[in-house]
C-alpha cells in the first residue's frame, strides 16, 4: 500500500525524502520515477545501494558521465537481469561485450543467457551459448535457441526432441497422470479448475490493473506497476490467496512455473 501511495504523490520535497531515506527499495524506486530535481537524482545515484533503484535513477540523469558510471557498476555486479539491462545502456562497448559474454555462458537464468547471446558480436561465443541452451534449457528456450543455430543438424535434432517431449507430456495429462492438466489457463498460463474460476481470475486481474496496483515481480523482485492505462510494467494473477505480479522479462518463467503448478489459482483446489 505504501508503494501505491507514492504513485499519488506530487510534492517533490516529500518524494525526495522518500527517494533518499525510505527503508523499502520499492518505495524509493517509485519516488525516483516521479522526481524531476537532478540534484536529488544525483544524490540517490551516488548513495543508494539497490540495483533497481540505481537503474531507475540512471535512466533519468541528465549527467551522462554519472549515468554511465552507474550503468558500468550495475553491469559488472548485481543480479543478472539488471546486469544485462545496464549493459544495453553502456556506451563502452568493450565492457558491454564482456558482460554479454559472461552472461551468455554463466547466467543461471536461461532467458538472460539467450538475450545476452543475441547481443554478442563474437558469433563463435553466441553459437556456443545457443547450442548449450538448445540442449539443456526449458522447451520454449530450446526452440528459440535452436532457431538461431547455424548448425542445422543439431537444430533439427532439438526440434524432434522437443516435439517428442511435448507429445509425451500431452499423453500423460490426457491419461490423468500428474502434469498440471487444466482445461482453463489464463494469460500467464495460470491454471483454473473451472470456467467460473477462470472468469473470476480474469476479473481479479482486471481489478488489479484498473487500480494501478504496484509491488514487486514474484520471480525477480523488480519493482513493477500494473495498469490498464499508461505505462504498465507487469501482469498480475491471483496466486496462493495473494496477487502475483509478473514483470515482462519474467513472463516465460511464469509460464514454465505454472506448467508444474497443480492448484487452481483462484480457489486453490488441487488439480
Q: What is the full DSSP assignment across 182-222?
A: -SEE-TT--EESSHHHHHHHHHHHHHHHHHT-EEEBTTT--
Assigned domain for 92 exists: no
Cell, residue 207: 481489478
Which of 75-79, 113-117, 168-172, 208-212 has the least mean pLDDT? 168-172
CA distance 217 to 118: 24
Yes or no: say if 118 and 96 are a contact pair by the CB < 8 Å rule. no
The pLDDT confidence band at residue 116, using thresholds 50, 70 and 90, is very high
Burial 154-167 (b: 16+ CB within 10 A, else e): bbeebeeebeeeee
Query: Looking at the predicted structure, is the pLDDT value of residue 3 above 80?
Result: no
Cell, residue 26: 520499492
Sign of CA dihedral 175, 180, 185, 188: negative
Assigned domain for 241 exists: yes
The model's pLDDT over 9-65, given as tens digits with 9 standing for 90+, comes to 888 999 999 999 998 888 899 899 899 999 999 999 999 999 999 999 999 999 999
Q: What is the pLDDT of residue 248?
A: 83
Assigned domain for 204 exists: yes
Assigned domain for 76 exists: no
The model's pLDDT over 134-166, given as tens digits with 9 standing for 90+, comes to 999 888 889 999 999 999 999 999 999 888 876
The DSSP code for 140 is: H
Assigned domain for 24 exists: no
Assigned domain for 235 exists: yes
For residue 240, what are the domain limits?
184-259
Assigned domain for 71 exists: no
Assigned domain for 115 exists: no
For the chain, the domain total comes to 1
Query: Looking at the predicted structure, is the pLDDT value of residue 231 above 80?
Result: no
Q: List the beta bridge partners of residue 237.
A: 244
Yes or no: say if 264 and 238 are a contact pair by the CB < 8 Å rule. no
The model's pLDDT over 169-197, given as tens digits with 9 standing for 90+, comes to 554 444 444 444 556 888 888 989 888 99
Q: What is the pLDDT of residue 172?
A: 45
Amino acid at each position: 500500500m505504501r508503494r501505491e501511495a507514492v504513485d499519488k504523490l506530487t510534492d517533490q520535497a516529500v518524494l525526495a525524502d522518500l527517494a533518499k531515506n525510505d527503508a523499502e527499495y520499492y518505495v524509493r524506486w517509485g519516488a525516483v520515477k516521479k522526481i524531476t530535481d537532478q540534484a536529488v537524482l544525483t544524490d540517490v545515484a551516488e548513495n543508494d545501494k539497490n540495483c533497481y533503484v540505481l537503474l531507475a535513477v540512471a535512466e533519468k540523469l541528465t549527467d551522462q558521465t554519472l549515468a554511465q558510471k552507474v550503468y558500468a557498476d550495475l553491469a559488472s555486479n548485481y543480479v543478472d537481469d539488471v546486469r544485462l539491462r545496464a549493459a544495453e545502456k553502456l556506451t563502452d562497448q568493450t565492457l558491454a561485450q564482456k558482460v554479454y559474454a559472461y552472461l551468455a555462458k554463466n547466467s543461471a537464468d536461461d532467458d538472460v543467457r539467450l538475450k545476452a547471446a543475441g547481443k554478442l558480436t563474437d558469433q563463435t561465443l553466441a553459437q556456443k551459448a545457443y547450442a548449450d541452451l538448445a540442449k539443456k534449457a526449458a522447451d520454449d528456450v530450446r526452440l528459440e535457441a535452436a532457431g538461431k543455430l547455424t548448425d542445422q543438424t543439431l537444430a533439427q535434432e532439438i526440434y524432434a526432441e522437443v516435439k517428442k517431449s511435448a507429445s509425451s507430456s500431452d499423453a500423460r495429462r490426457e491419461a490423468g497422470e500428474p502434469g498440471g492438466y487444466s482445461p482453463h489457463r489464463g494469460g500467464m498460463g495460470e491454471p483454473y479448475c473451472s470456467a467460473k474460476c477462470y472468469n473470476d481470475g480474469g476479473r481479479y486481474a482486471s481489478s488489479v490493473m484498473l487500480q494501478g496496483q504496484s509491488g514487486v515481480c514474484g520471480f525477480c523482485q523488480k519493482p513493477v506497476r500494473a495498469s490498464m492505462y499508461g505505462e504498465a510494467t507487469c501482469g498480475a494473477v491471483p496466486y496462493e490467496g495473494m496477487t502475483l505480479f509478473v514483470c515482462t522479462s519474467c513472463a516465460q518463467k511464469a509460464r514454465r512455473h505454472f506448467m508444474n503448478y497443480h492448484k487452481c489459482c483462484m480457489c486453490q483446489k488441487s488439480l
